Amino acid sequence: MSATTRWKDIQIENIEAACDKMLSSIPDDDRTNSIFWRNISCRKVFEDMQMMKFNGRDIKFQAFHYRYDQVSVQDNPDDDRSMLKNGMIVIYQNGGTVYYIVDQNTHAKKLLRKLLGYTGRNELEKNCFDLPDDFFVWLVNQVYNSNVTILNTSADDEKVLTLEEIKGIRGDTEDLQTSVSASGESVMNVISTLSFLLESRRLNQVILTLKYTGHSCICMKVQKSTIEAGRPYQGEFDQDGSEALFAKLYLLMYIEVIPLLELEYRAAKEEYWNEEAYIEFLEGLKTDILGKIEEKIKYLKSNTV
């Protein structure tokens, strides 16, 4: 799956009207720029409008598969180079607001404007999460120190989110691919985590696996403003086709999972997570490293002939 962004419709307040626009005829771009789009089309994933409950609220949604040719202009029109682009858009209505989850970032707004026939200003507003750098450090701390259970009491039935593992971290300096696991710390795990946190000026991405009520494995890449579902996935959407899975999984992440993590982080900031807690985290990593090195030395000496 691809990294996604979310957008809010300022003009349309009814999901049915938005879906009608998505299925309208879409004109090609003029061949006036170095790159233009043509043969733009959309098709519905679900025959009928869908309804599911998220955070105790009934959410109406539909999904679309889009495709278009992205053309690079050459001196001779016959030499123009064309590349097929395709992907997914999830439309949902929460209260009186219509949202779009798009598997694009840079060209997401242009794509939505084309599909919806918008030509004016301020019809769409970016509505992504704006996660601070400190959020990612907090996540690493939670998983490393096994503070991994979060309750969601907003739903009709209480749900439990469990942070299982951080498979990768990204910051200003490099990528860390060594896993930070809630179930045990190897020497390399501890050393690589500490060195990365010391060398990177700020974190801006984590690859996280978690469990959530009804879903035994959700893998996701979380960046400051984009969310990407990964493999494997195991849960109540297992029997859905790939397009239906895309729609339901991203709705779950955008409406329940990420807001729950963000809420827990905000509460931690008020209660305990500060510069002193961060220093304590680093001190704990240092102690773990020294302890495991001492254990290794003792083991080697005791087995020396």
* pLDDT for res 106: 87
Residues forming beta bridges with residue 52, ordered by sequence position: 59
CB neighbourhood size of 107 (10 A): 13
Q: Which stretches in the chain have pLDDT values below 50?
A: 174, 176-188
pTM, entire model: 0.87
Segment 50-93, tens digit of pLDDT:
999 998 899 999 999 999 999 988 878 877 888 999 999 999 99
Alpha helices in the chain (DSSP H): 15-22, 108-116, 133-144, 187-199, 242-252, 258-271, 275-302
* pLDDT for res 178: 46
Domain boundaries, the chain: 5-126, 133-290
* pLDDT for res 193: 65
CA-to-CA distance for 136 and 129, rounded, in angstroms? 13
